[in-house]
Amino acid sequence: MAEVATRAIGAPVRRIEGRAKVTGAARYAVEHDPGEVAYGWIVQAQVARGKITDIDDAEARSQPGVLHVLWHGNAPRLEEVSDAELAVFQEPRVAYRGQIVAAVVADNPEAAREAARLVRVKVHEEPHDVGLRADHPHLYKPDKVNPSFPSDTDKGDVDAALARAEVTIDHTYSTPAYHNNAMEPHATLARWDGDRLTVYDSNQGAAAHRAPLAKAFGLEPEQVRVLAEHVGGGFGSKGTPRPQMIVAAMLARISGRAVKLPVTRQQMFAFTGYRTPTIQRMRLGATGDGRITAIEHRVFEQTSQIREFAEQAATPTRVMYATDNLRTSHRLVRLDVPTPSWMRAPGECPGMYALESAIDELALAVGIDPIELRIRNDADAEPDSGKPFSSRNLVACLREGADRFGWADRDPRQRQRDGRWFIGSGVAASTYPAYQRDAEATARVQPDGSFRVGIAAADIGTGARTALTQIAADTLGVPVERVRVDIGDSALPRAGVAGGSMGTSSWGAAVAKACEALLAEMERGGSEAHADTKAEIEAKKDLARHAFGAQFAEVRVDGETGEIRVSRLLGVFAAGRIVNPVTARSQFIGGMTMGMGMALFEESVMDRRYGDYLNHDLAQYHVPANADVADIEVAWIEEDDPELNRIGTKGIGEIGIVGTAAAIANAVHHATGLRFRALPIHLDGLVGAGT
């Protein structure tokens, strides 16, 4: 059936849904019209720890248009759920400031918001603790870190190797809490039809959200349908169900109407997830010529009182550099804070900031170019496990990036000036696992000769719908215009979340297999086929599968004011087969821009007195704007890795952020001679750098 000379995979295809989005035809969660609708509004706890003694909702209920006020005293009982954040209104305990303690449903959003303001919540306040520190008396070792890695690893004799090392590095690096701020806030529209529940929700996987929702309400999964056709960003925070989905379903059942419940930007800083702050101690030992003999990476982080989440910040150190002596550990403390969760490149992002900053310090200490030091310590096999890599092209990325960036012309001396500006450049490596999960897909030929593919995948703005269309068209041998891919519906064949940079690899393999099966079925006169990739994934060789990259930054620092300008960013990546160069470039640039925000702008500031984040909106939580990003260049290494999956892809959504912050911090050090081991790099630390 091969009808197209040019293959769809690798072609710069425009986004399939692009026109619908820019014309407003694309409908997001609460934009759907279910008929008669009511509106919900959330009431949040105003203390960080305590017990609710009473809720006075009389005045709120008396307001025009108000249908009901829901709280733990009158809420329906839920079934036991594994995520305690979803056990909304089940008990009077307050576990953190901003936790949902009541909700209002009304005829219109204005009435719901006003009534929520009038709900009086009385709480017996208790002393709270919201401060992470490396010597906290209640630190403990979690059984595992996200998603299922061992908390600690220990190979060789790290202490002895450090004692013998000619050169040692021993520094502590820290990152603050970061909050996801997707363009579309979390939002849910819920509707009951008898004992069947339909939910339109802004999430990263409709199928993955159906089972927890069904369990909470004591339903069979077949009684619940979750739709997320268009999603305005997620970055991890929409990867698991959030409590507003439960609240919306409760309000819909009580009111007898469909209920729209959008989460405000301010509320997103409480119960929709964030990246834990980290404290990371790095100890490196090396020979005089820069051969690393020992690495120790110790991580301290926080979780909530109601659910454990341990970010895997030390795991990338288990992957990166060859050494016979390697020790990593994670320690966690339960605080009176919201539960942390996934944020773009969880683990690798903060962990590689510490590692790549320490590597830069080691290069300076031994007097070796930082690129050469990384190449000298490249690993033939995964250092921690000893597994062979399916492919590892870190060195190729470093060399290609050095050539593109003009690294050979870099003066290694610090504090080079251009008038009042200091100029510096830095480099850092990147890595991210090449995950794949099993999935199912269907494919059928239509009476008009077009094709329709179905899979419960999610497009959160990454271009997944377009990539899957290209994979299907390529497999079928037809133009992309003849293929339609249906996604974002839990009624479609099973698929995992858009997370872990595994979407295209997981869903694409299922789509390709279904299309191959359809071609065989058509030869027999059939018109539809189904595929499941579980067996082939279970049969894969036990290899270390990772994407790698190298990121370069050039900065200009005003010697008088301390102002930092990032004049150039370059990322070169080895991430398997690139399905669509247009959307891939967008993903890499997006990740690098977020990494820049991590280095220079982003920081969730905790008020320890009240247990609340002070800067809970985009007026105070600063992210990069167009003017902050002068020049970003992206390139990739052509990589053929047959051990990955049937389409040869790795993930690209997250690796772009991983090394960027370290590259910028290393560039600032090169420019000024000042080393910043805590992010973000504040202006006050650079004021007067020229004196």
This prediction has a pTM of 0.97
The CATH code of the domain at 148-178+275-434+543-685 is 3.30.365.10
Contact 272, 253 (CB under 8 A): no
| Active-site entry in 296, 400, 440, 654 | 654
**Strand pairing of 292-303 and 326-334?**
parallel
Q: Identify the pLDDT of residue 184.
A: 97
β-sheet with 292-303: strand ranges across? 153-155, 326-334, 292-303, 278-286, 167-175
Phi, psi of 502 (to 5 degrees): -120, 5
* No. of helices (H) and no. of strands (E), the chain: 16, 28
- Dump the DSSP string for 96-109: STT-EEEEEEESSH
Beta strands in 489-562 (DSSP E): 528-532, 546-558
Phi, psi of 171 (to 5 degrees): -140, 160
Q: Would you call 36 a catalytic residue per the annotation?
A: no
The CATH code of the domain at 32-127+181-271 is 3.30.365.10
Same fold yes or no, 18-27+435-538 and 32-127+181-271: yes
- Dump the DSSP string for 80-141: P-SSGGG-TTS-SEE-STT-EEEEEEESSHHHHHHHHHH-EEEEEE--------TT-TT-B-
Q: Identify the pLDDT of residue 270.
A: 96
Q: Residues of the chain whose pLDDT is less than 70?
A: 1-6, 691
Q: Identify the pLDDT of residue 2.
A: 44
Cis peptide before 316 (omega within 30 of 0): no
C-alpha 558/C-alpha 676 separation (Å) is 16
Single-letter amino acid, residue 449: G
Which tokens is 139 given?
Answer: 């630190």
Encode pLDDT of 486-539 as tens digits.
999 999 999 999 999 999 999 999 999 999 999 999 999 999 999 999 999 999
Contact 681, 564 (CB under 8 A): yes
Q: Which CATH class is domain 18-27+435-538?
A: alpha beta
Q: Identify the pLDDT of residue 6.
A: 57
Domain locations along the chain: 18-27+435-538, 32-127+181-271, 148-178+275-434+543-685
Which residues does 93 contact at the CB level (< 8 Å), separation at least 6? 50, 51, 52
Which one, of 602, 662, 660, lies nearest residue 632 by Cα?
660
